């Protein structure tokens, strides 16, 4: 079965400074702004960032009903309950881009037993990201 060019799973992340997070995600990890809806002094109501045919949603962390179900990494000792993963064509160049943008590298770029190469980093608010060349859709 061929992959659908439109993603059906869209991770949603909340940030205390969503505007700064969006800028960092674009600079360091290569995302592009598709839509950003500001909510006055409350920050970002909703943003869509794309990377190839992938999409993430970003908003400002809030103490609303949904926000009370979530925790930011600094509230739980820097831990995460999940991690966004994505595939890039040139993982070596991507790694250099992330390092140059100041990403906190938590797993250096290296070959993986299951194929390809990859690395892991944290964004400025502590969310985990795994980036690699392994494509689970490839035959």
CB half-sphere exposure, 102, CA atoms < 13 A? 10
- Give a yes or no: residue 126 inside a domain: yes
Does position 42 have pLDDT exceeding 90, yes or no? no
Domain count, the chain: 1
Grouping H, G, I as helix, E, B as strand and the rest as coil, residue 84 is strand
> pTM for the full model?
0.91
CATH of the domain at 112: 3.10.180.10
Q: Which of 127 and 5 is assigned the larger pLDDT? A: 127
- Give a yes or no: residue 74 inside a domain: no
- Give a yes or no: residue 6 inside a domain: no
Mean pLDDT of the chain: 92
Say if strands 84-87 and 128-132 run parallel, antiparallel, or are unpaired. parallel
- Give a yes or no: residue 5 inside a domain: no
Share of the chain above pLDDT 70, in %: 96
pLDDT at res. 138? 84
pLDDT at res. 41? 80
- Give a yes or no: residue 72 inside a domain: no
- Give a yes or no: residue 21 inside a domain: yes
- Give a yes or no: residue 111 inside a domain: yes
pLDDT digits (tens, 9 = 90+) for 88-134: 999 999 999 999 999 999 999 999 998 899 999 999 999 999 999 99
pLDDT at res. 130? 97
For tokens 């944290």, name the residue: 122
Does position 2 have pLDDT exceeding 60, yes or no? no
Does position 1 have pLDDT exceeding 50, yes or no? no
Grouping H, G, I as helix, E, B as strand and the rest as coil, residue 52 is coil
Domain extent, residue 122, equals 12-62+80-132
pLDDT digits (tens, 9 = 90+) for 50-62: 998 899 999 999 9
pLDDT band with cut points at 50, 70 and 90 for residue 65 = very high
- Give a yes or no: residue 18 inside a domain: yes
Average of per-residue pLDDT across 39-55: 92
């Amino acid at each position: 079965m061929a992959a659908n060019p439109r993603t059906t799973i869209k991770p949603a992340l909340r940030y205390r400074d969503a505007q700064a997070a969006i800028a960092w995600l674009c600079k360091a990890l290569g995302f592009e702004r598709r839509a950003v809806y500001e909510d006055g002094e409350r920050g970002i109501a909703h943003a869509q960032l794309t990377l190839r045919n992938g999409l993430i949603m970003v908003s400002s962390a809030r103490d609303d009903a949904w926000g009370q179900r979530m925790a930011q990494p600094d509230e739980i000792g820097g831990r995460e309950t999940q991690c966004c993963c994505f595939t890039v064509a040139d993982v070596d160049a991507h790694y250099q881009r992330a390092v140059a943008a100041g990403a906190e590298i938590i797993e250096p770029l290296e070959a993986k037993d299951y194929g390809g190469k990859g690395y892991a980093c944290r964004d400025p608010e502590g969310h985990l990201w795994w980036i690699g060349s392994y494509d689970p859709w490839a035959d």
